[in-house]
């Protein structure tokens, strides 16, 4: 019996060896095909071209999303790991920062040690100083006017950056500004050593290196850019999970949808609402989330404008069927309750409830002296398309039909997006707005930092060309409170002031708010792990490909 | 003949100059600011002014035109505001890419057009004529961007036989005559071929039907010539007019179809123009329009010369 067992055991071992050998042989024969398949994530962007890759990206926040925060880092980053809360700032290339208690024009940033650029060179305080000169010192050999122009609107408070030691810098501001951490989150760190090796930004663009979670591989203008994971990224939690990412500019919405459905890409930005049912039927995942964006009418308060009367502005806010519009958009919108999306940190406690109540709206209009025979005449500049503009024309027509029910006579001045942004560079009491008697404009806005959300549109000192207060809001409350917020270095106290400002804006119906976009994206079923943050920026590092 | 050629060449010079003036003015008359594509909306006036200085946009328009013309004359079309790359380096590969699908579309369209037109002309008034005339009218009437979208839906999305966009699966923009390239160009070529097919078919039909009723054809037949030989005479007589139409059609196709190239994301001049328009990239827009217009002028010149060779009466 014992012998028999031994024999069986020996046979089993032999069989085991034989099958292992057969497997090995098969593996050797199969060659590379037996190796794990490369996991490639291919993304269809809405941009018409690859965003600038040398540091400060162009193409608006899409450039930040798909080039900026992928190849590069900023001193302060955005925490994009949560879908249920608005994205907040978090340490990036700086681990800590504080205001000098004796000098409110001086911030100290402590840099992260051990961070390396993709070419292996160290990131130190010298790089931060060099990167400031890149965008602020026209005499510097590496000064880049395009990056300077792109950065100037993002870091307006910064006056000087000096090295204290290898891992500490001081940032001097023009005036006390509590928004410096937000501002530096938009300022990307290029690689000094690499630039000095190649000698020009044109050459740098051929092999750009940053400190970000993705490394540049290659780029074909207007066609695609390829990146691979930076396995040595300083934040081990954000080392990319796929083997390669390919970004393709596909500006045409239906071409993006076709590319996803035919398997040429795995992930597309902004599918059009009418394609959603088809995408869902094909098993694609539609991902949406609130993010700091608004689609609203910015009313002009210039002499003679009906919008000067708060009752008219309130009536307009009460006369919009936002649920109906959301339905028209295939559910891809959130009805506005104010300037900030509902639930935002700075939403505050306004008393004016923005809702659909046309009877109340007409009562307010009657009180303000308007009737069906004596309508409030408004002419609104709108675009045909554009960044963040959603579906501007059908949305405008919906809005127009709504407002005309409440004693308004709404006219459109339709412009191409580029023309509309040029138009908004002059205040509403100058230029084309006067010539064509335009007293409203629809330009969707990013509202993720205090300056973009509130200061640039409500502060009297931000009337163009110094900001985006096109509508000429001149109210001492905003001026005082927003100045206070900008010099309040305690974040909680700052949030409290901003919430008061927002509540005041809603109670004064400062704008006619309509909806917030939900930033739809369509993902092939094998794309897993994507968390859509409540932000204009997104993190591709957790994405896995599981076929 | 030489005199005729010289005269046509001389005519082309003022036309080309006129083209440069029109394309420069049109681009500058349009609304919007060329710098707004690269500057955020809140860029301060100081920054806008500095960038204008750098790109020479602060100069008076006539001076800008002369500077641009002088540079363009020596092949320097400037630098794209949007990408920072030389305009010529953007246009040259795009022209080649447009040429590839234009020639493909033209060959397919002309071939089908000639066959359909000839058959219809020979079968004048009969069901075959009505059928091919209907096909030709459909070809001219169907919006080709709509057809392009339908082709994508059918062959790329539903059947998944052919790729929906691009020139290669890996996003390359160079035509390497690979099987993959041909698979990618098939749908754009079909979409592009329908209009030339329709136009050529209608011209050929009218010409053939008219020529067949002429006395010389009866004379040829009565002399005992076979139908094949009669057809050769008919074809030769129809050629000048058909060729003129084909030349124009090829010119339109070479201009790159903005809509077709945008739908298929084909990296040709049409897509380049579309991107340049939306980005308000004036140097790129001017350069591309100028290059296309000059090609059109050159092609017309070529057609005139070929027509003169085929029908020497034109020279007189």
Which residues in chain B have their CB less than 8 angstroms from residue A150's CB?
38-40
Q: Is B179 on the interface with A (CB under 8 A)?
A: no
Q: Is residue B83 part of a domain?
A: no
Report the candidate in A436, A445, A446 with the shortest Cα–Cα distance to residue A415. A436
- Rounded Cα distance, B95 and B296, in Å: 13
Topology of the domain covering A293-517: Dipeptide-binding Protein; domain 3 (3.10.105)
Count up the domains in chain B and report the number.
Answer: 1
Q: Is residue B55 part of a domain?
A: no
pLDDT tens-place values along chain A, 547 residues long:
344 444 444 434 444 444 444 444 444 444 444 456 899 999 999 887 888 999 999 888 889 999 999 999 999 999 999 999 889 999 999 999 999 999 999 999 999 999 999 999 999 999 999 999 999 998 999 999 889 888 888 898 999 999 999 999 999 999 899 999 999 999 999 999 999 999 999 899 999 999 999 999 999 887 899 999 999 999 999 999 999 999 998 888 888 998 999 899 999 999 988 899 999 999 999 999 989 999 999 999 999 999 999 999 999 999 999 999 999 998 999 999 999 998 899 999 999 999 999 999 999 999 999 999 999 999 999 988 777 888 889 999 999 999 999 999 999 999 877 778 878 888 999 989 999 999 999 998 889 999 999 999 999 999 988 889 999 999 999 999 999 999 999 989 999 999 999 999 999 999 999 999 999 999 999 999 999 999 999 999 999 999 8
Check residue B299 and give its pLDDT.
Answer: 80
Q: Is residue B37 part of a domain?
A: no
CA–CA min distance B110, chain A (Å): 28
* CA distances, B86 to each of A38, A96, A174, B76 (Å): 36, 43, 38, 8
Where along chain A do its domains lie? 37-72+212-291+519-547, 73-191, 293-517
Q: Is residue B130 part of a domain?
A: yes
Topology of the domain covering A73-191: Dipeptide-binding Protein; domain 1 (3.90.76)
CATH number for position B248 = 1.10.3720.10
| B243, B203 contact by CB (below 8 A) | no
Q: Is residue B63 part of a domain?
A: no
Which residues in chain A have their CB less than 8 angstroms from residue B41's CB?
421, 424-425, 443, 468
Report the candidate in A223, A114, A109 with the shortest Cα–Cα distance to residue A168. A109
From chain A residues 389-448, the ones with a CB under 8 A of any chain B CB are 415-419, 421-422, 424-425, 443
Is it true that the peptide bond before A465 is cis, omega within 30 degrees of 0? yes
Inter-chain CB proximity A221 and B172 less than 8 Å: no
Inter-chain CB proximity A150 and B39 less than 8 Å: yes
| B274, B261 contact by CB (below 8 A) | yes
* CA distances, A289 to each of A201, A346, B18 (Å): 37, 18, 53
Main-chain phi, psi angles of B38, to 5 degrees:
-110, -10
Q: Give DSSP secondary structure letters for chain B.
A: -HHHHHHHHHHHHHHHHHHHHHHHHHHHHSSS-GGGGTS-TT--HHHHHHHHHHTTTTS-HHHHHHHHHHHHHTT---B-TTT-SBHHHHHHHHHHHHHHHHHHHHHHHHHHHHHHHHHHHHTTTSHHHHHHHHHHHHHHHS-HHHHHHHHIIIIIIIS--S-SSSSSTT---S----HHHHHHHHHHHHHHHHHHHHHHHHHHHHHHHHHHTSHHHHHHHHTT--HHHHHHHHHHHHHHHHHHHHHHHHHHHHT--HHHHHHTT--SHHHHHHHHHHHT-HHHHHHHHHHHHHHHHHHHHHHHHHHHHH-GGGT-
Alpha helices in A137-230 (DSSP H): 145-152, 180-184, 192-198, 201-204
SS (HEC) of A492-512: HHHHHHHHHHHHHHHHCCCCE
| A51, A58 contact by CB (below 8 A) | yes
Report the candidate in A232, A206, A188, A198 with the shortest Cα–Cα distance to residue A70. A188
Check residue A21 and give its pLDDT.
Answer: 42
| B230, B220 contact by CB (below 8 A) | yes
Class of domain A37-72+212-291+519-547 (CATH, top level) = alpha beta
Cβ neighbourhood burial of A282 (10 Å; 0-12, 13-18, 19+): middle
Q: Is residue B156 part of a domain?
A: yes
- Rounded Cα distance, B156 and B170, in Å: 17
Query: What value of ipTM does the predicted structure carry?
Result: 0.75
| A168, A100 contact by CB (below 8 A) | no
Check residue A24 and give its pLDDT.
Answer: 40
Q: Is residue B303 part of a domain?
A: no
Number of CB pairs < 8 Å for A and B?
139
- Rounded Cα distance, B41 and A363, in Å: 38
Q: Is A116 helix (H, G, I), strand (E, B) or coil?
A: strand
Q: Is A19 on the interface with B (CB under 8 A)?
A: no
Domain with B216 in it: 99-268
Q: Is residue B84 part of a domain?
A: no
Which residues in chain A have their CB less than 8 angstroms from residue B37's CB?
418
- Rounded Cα distance, A19 and B105, in Å: 57
| A292, A86 contact by CB (below 8 A) | yes
Cβ neighbourhood burial of A303 (10 Å; 0-12, 13-18, 19+): exposed
Number of H helices, E strands in chain A: 20, 22
Which residues in chain B have their CB less than 8 angstroms from residue A416's CB?
31-32
Inter-chain CB proximity B265 and A58 less than 8 Å: no
pLDDT tens-place values along chain B, 316 residues long:
778 888 888 888 888 888 888 888 877 777 666 776 677 766 767 777 888 887 788 888 889 889 888 888 888 888 887 777 889 988 998 989 999 999 999 999 999 999 999 999 989 889 999 999 999 999 889 888 899 999 988 998 888 888 888 887 776 777 878 888 889 999 999 999 999 999 999 999 999 988 888 889 889 888 888 888 888 888 888 888 898 889 888 878 876 688 899 888 888 988 888 888 877 788 888 888 888 888 888 888 887 888 788 777 776 6
- What proportion of chain B, given as a percentage, has pLDDT over 90? 20
């Amino acid at each position: 019996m014992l012998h028999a067992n031994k024999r069986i055991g020996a046979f089993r071992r032999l069989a085991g060896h034989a099958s292992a050998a057969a497997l090995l042989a098969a593996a050797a024969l199969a060659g590379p095909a037996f190796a794990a398949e490369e996991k490639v994530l291919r993304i269809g962007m809405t941009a018409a071209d690859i965003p600038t890759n040398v540091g400060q990206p162009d193409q608006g926040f899409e450039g930040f999303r798909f080039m900026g925060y992928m190849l590069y880092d900023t001193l302060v980053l955005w925490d994009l790991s949560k879908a249920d809360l608005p994205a907040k700032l978090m340490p990036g290339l700086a681990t800590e920062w504080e205001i000098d208690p004796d000098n409110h024009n001086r911030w100290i940033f402590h840099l992260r040690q051990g961070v390396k650029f993709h070419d292996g060179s160290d990131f130190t305080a010298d790089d931060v100083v060099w990167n400031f000169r890149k965008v602020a010192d026209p005499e510097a050999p590496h000064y880049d006017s395009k990056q300077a122009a792109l950065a100037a609107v993002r870091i307006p408070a910064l006056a000087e950056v000096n090295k204290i030691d290898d891992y500490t810098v001081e940032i001097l501001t023009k005036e006390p500004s509590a928004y410096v951490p937000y501002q530096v989150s938009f300022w990307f760190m290029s690689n000094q050593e690499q630039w000095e090796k190649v000698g020009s930004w044109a050459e740098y663009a051929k092999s750009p290196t940053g400190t970000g979670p993705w490394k540049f591989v290659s780029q074909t203008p207007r066609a695609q850019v390829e990146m691979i994971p930076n396995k040595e990224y300083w934040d081990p939690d954000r080392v990319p999970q796929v083997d390669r990412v390919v970004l393709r500019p596909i500006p045409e919405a239906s071409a993006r949808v076709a590319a996803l459905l035919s398997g040429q890409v795995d992930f597309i930005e902004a599918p059009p609402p009418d394609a959603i049912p088809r995408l869902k039927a094909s098993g694609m995942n539609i991902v949406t989330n609130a993010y700091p964006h608004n689609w609203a009418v910015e009313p002009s308060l210039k002499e003679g404008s009906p919008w000067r009367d708060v009752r008219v502005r309130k009536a307009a806010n009460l006369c919009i069927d936002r649920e109906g519009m959301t339905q028209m958009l295939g559910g891809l919108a959130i009805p506005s309750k104010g300037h900030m999306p509902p639930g935002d940190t700075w939403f505050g406690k306004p008393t004016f409830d923005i809702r659909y109540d046309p009877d109340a709206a007409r009562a307010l209009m009657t009180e303000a002296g308007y009737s069906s025979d004596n309508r409030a005449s408004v002419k609104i500049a709108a675009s045909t398309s554009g960044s963040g503009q959603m579906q501007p024309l059908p949305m405008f027509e919906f809005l127009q039909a709504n407002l005309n029910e409440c004693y308004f006579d709404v006219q459109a001045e339709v412009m191409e997006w580029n023309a509309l942004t040029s138009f908004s560079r002059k205040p509403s009491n100058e230029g084309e707005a006067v010539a064509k008697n335009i007293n409203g404009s629809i330009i969707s806005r990013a509202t993720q930092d205090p300056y973009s959300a509130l200061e640039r549109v409500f502060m009297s000192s931000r009337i163009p060309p110094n900001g985006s207060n096109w509508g000429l809001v001149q109210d001492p409350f905003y001026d005082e409170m927003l100045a206070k917020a900008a010099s309040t270095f305690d974040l909680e106290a700052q949030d409290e002031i901003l919430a008061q400002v927002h509540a005041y804006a809603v109670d004064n119906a400062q704008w006619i708010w309509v909806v917030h976009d939900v930033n739809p994206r369509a993902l092939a079923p094998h794309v897993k792990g994507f968390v859509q943050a409540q932000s204009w920026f997104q993190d591709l590092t957790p994405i896995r490909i599981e076929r | 003949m030489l005199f005729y050629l010289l005269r046509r060449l001389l005519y082309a010079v003022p036309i080309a100059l006129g083209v440069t003036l029109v394309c420069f003015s049109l681009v500058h008359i349009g609304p919007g600011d060329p710098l707004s594509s690269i500057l955020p909306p809140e860029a301060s006036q100081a920054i806008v002014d500095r960038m204008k200085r750098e790109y020479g946009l602060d100069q008076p328009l006539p001076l800008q035109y002369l500077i641009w013309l002088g540079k363009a004359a020596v092949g320097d079309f400037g630098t794209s505001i949007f990408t920072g790359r030389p305009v010529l380096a953007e246009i040259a590969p795009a022209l080649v890419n447009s040429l590839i699908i234009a020639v493909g579309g033209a060959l397919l369209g002309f071939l089908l057009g000639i066959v359909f037109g000839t058959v219809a002309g020979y079968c004048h008034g009969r069901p075959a004529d009505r059928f091919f005339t209907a096909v030709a009218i459909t070809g001219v009437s169907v919006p080709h961007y709509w057809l392009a979208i339908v082709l994508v839906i059918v062959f790329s999305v539903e059947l998944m036989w052919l790729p929906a966009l691009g020139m290669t699966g890996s996003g390359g923009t160079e035509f390497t005559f690979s099987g993959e390239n041909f698979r990618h160009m098939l749908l754009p070529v079909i979409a592009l071929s329908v209009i030339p097919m329709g136009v050529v078919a209608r011209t050929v039909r009218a010409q053939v039907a008219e020529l067949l009723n002429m006395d010389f054809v009866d004379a040829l037949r009565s002399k005992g010539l076979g139908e094949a030989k009669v057809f050769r005479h008919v074809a030769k007589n129809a050629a000048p007019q058909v060729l003129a139409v084909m030349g124009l059609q090829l010119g339109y196709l070479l201009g790159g179809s903005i809509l077709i190239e945008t739908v298929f994301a084909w990296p040709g001049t049409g897509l380049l123009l579309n991107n340049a328009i939306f980005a308000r990239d004036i140097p790129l827009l001017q350069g591309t329009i100028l290059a296309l217009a000059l090609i059109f002028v050159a092609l017309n010149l070529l057609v005139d010369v070929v027509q003169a060779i085929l029908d020497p009466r034109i020279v007189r």
